[in-house]
Amino acid sequence: MTLGFYPGCSLKGSSREYAESVLAVAKAFDINMEEIKDWNCCGATAAHNMNKELSLALPARILSLAEQQGLTEIVVPCAACYSRLTVTKHEMANNADLKVSVNEVNNLEYNGTVDVLNIVQMLDKYIIPNLSGRVVKPYDHKVACYYGCLLVRPHEILKFDREEDPQSLDELMLKAGATPIDWAFKTECCGAGLSVSRTPSVGRLSGKIIGDAVDRGAEAVIVACPMCHSNLDMRRDAINTYLGEKVEIPVLYITQAIGLAIGLDRKALGLQRHFVKVSV
């Protein structure tokens, strides 16, 4: 079978291991991921902070291209892209004038026929039903599933999982043989887009997340967002400075953990690309 695929910029650059692991897992289950041709950046935080029209036009272009390509369902592994695409769909569906003006800006027709799946929804729908017989190396570790902000909020638009104590990643990890822990920072913000402009703030916010995961005995943090990953992994120096100690807990994408459980090669999952060594 074939699914549409919107990787987004991070998955082509600093978080390429996320793309590698998504594609490796999809391939293992005979799913062909068809990339949207000539896709552009969703505009991310920068666009919606600076220019509302732009923040809707850029995601709308992506969705229009997917429509043109005949795709009905696209997988968007980056939680931030997923949020921008879903918010745009919502705004366009609820405001006819806006749809007209965005179509005019983009010089493209947008009809709203493409469904947007985040990575958890994709795994739930297409991988989990066939997973049980495939787990050859259960990921037998205590894991802290970290959802961050944009996978679960705002619930009014995303309508996905619970806002304060979501369970979807925990349930996936349970099926991959792990023991998800209860902890307090599942949906606290990592510092996101302040990574470069205010690194110490990210050290503080991400430090609290990593600190709580370690204090409660987690052996790995599981994420589904490249921004969360880069803050928790690449910004480990700032985190350690905030915590006043060196913590070595690795941070894995959900698709890397599932990939390990079904026996995929560590390198094919891009584990060697992390800043914090993945020892589990």
Partner 1 sequence: MSSDGHHSVISGLGGEVSAHTDVKVSHCYQCGKCSAGCPLSEEMDYPPSVIMRMLQTGNPYLEQKVLSSFSIWVCLTCEMCFARCPMSIDIPKMMDFLREKSLNEKKANPKAKEIIAFHKSFLDSIRYTGRLYEIGLFVDYKARTLKILDDLALAPKMMKRGKLNIIPELIKDRSGVASIFRKAGKKNKN
By CB under 8 A, what part of segment 46-65 binds partner 1? 46-55, 57-58, 61
Task: Convert residues 6-35 into a mask of x (bound to partner 1 by CB under 8 A) and - (unbound).
Answer: ---xx-xxxxx-------------------
Cα(98)–Cα(100) distance, integer angstroms: 5
The residue among 134 and 273 lying less far from partner 1, judged by its C-beta, is 273
CB 257 within 8 A of CB 221: no
Separation in Å, CA 153 to CA 7, 55, 161, 261: 21, 17, 9, 29
Map residues 158-197 to x or -, x wherever contact with partner 1 holds by CB under 8 A.
-----xx----------------------xxx-xxxx-xx
C-alpha distances in angstroms, 174 versus 14, 117, 200, 254?
A: 28, 21, 34, 12
- In DSSP terms, 179 is beta-bridged to 142
Residue 266 binds to partner 1 (criterion: CB under 8 A): no
CA distance 115 to 232: 30
8 A C-beta contact, residue 258 and residue 178: no
CB nearer to partner 1: give 90 or 216: 90
Q: How many residues bind partner 1 (CB under 8 A)?
A: 57
141/153 with CB nearer partner 1: 153
Q: What are phi and psi of 221, to 5 degrees?
A: -105, 135
- Contact between 153 and partner 1 per CB under 8 A: yes
Q: Which residues bind partner 1 (CB under 8 A)?
A: 9-10, 12-16, 38-41, 43-55, 57-58, 61, 104-107, 149-150, 153-156, 163-164, 187-189, 191-194, 196-199, 201, 205, 234, 272-275
